[in-house]
Amino acid sequence: MECSDLAKKLLEWWGTNRRVFPWRGTLDPYRILVGEILLHRTKANQVVPVYNRFIEKFPTIVELANALFVEIRETVYSLGLLWRTEALHKMAQDIVTKFEGKIPVEREKLESLPGISHYTASALRCFAYGYPEVLLDTNTVRIVGRVFGTKVSDSSRRSRTFQRLYESILDKENPGGFNYAMLDLGALVCLPSEPLCNNCPIIQMCIFGSSRLGKIGCGKYLSLSS
């Protein structure tokens, strides 16, 4: 197997193992943005019922901007991290007043909004607009570190090295599918402890997994310039 097959193998696996969430079944930037903010430091399964209630109650950015603060707080309260209430409300109001109710695509404009981090902006640009964005979070950093045999630290999500490594394997033709597949691989197979390496579709490209199973991984041969 060639190392260039990583994206292909990963997407084939994802075709039958993908997790299904309501914010994934849309290209609506508002719904994707709400999902990403609610997912911050929160498990996806916990977010689903809150997300559904939120979208039912505030179906558009304008309705969210015009909502009472207490209404938003009551809707997201069960997830904790109550800063999200103010961030969601202020973000919606800024989008309405500064961008005529249209969620911008430009990174600089997105990151100027309350509650939108570099990661959130990247996720929105990828999943809503199709940009080939690198998504480095706890799960994907772990996968990249294991594939390339690179030590992971608390700062790896902001590391230029990890950015380049991820870029080298990112499927530029299907970045949304690839990024969702990476997130799902980290959640279902490439676990923090006791990873299920025997079930991994990219085991032959992974230095960590291959060595764990007594094989020779080819992650070290993946090009950083691809």
Give catalytic residue positions: 36
Residue 24's SS3 state is helix
Question: Closest by alpha carbon to 209, among 121, 149, 135, 136?
Answer: 149
**Cβ-contact 98, 125 below 8 angstroms:** no
d(CA 12, CA 214): 24
Residue 88's SS3 state is helix
Contacts of 129 (CB under 8 A, 6+ apart): 29, 105
CA angle, residues 11, 5, 193, in degrees to nearest 5: 65
d(CA 66, CA 49): 22
List of long-range contacts for 82-90, beta carbons under 8 Å, 24+ apart: 83/115, 84/37, 84/38, 84/40, 84/115, 86/114, 87/37, 87/114, 87/115, 88/34, 88/37, 88/64, 88/115, 89/64, 89/65, 90/114, 90/115
The residue with tokens 């399964």 is: 45
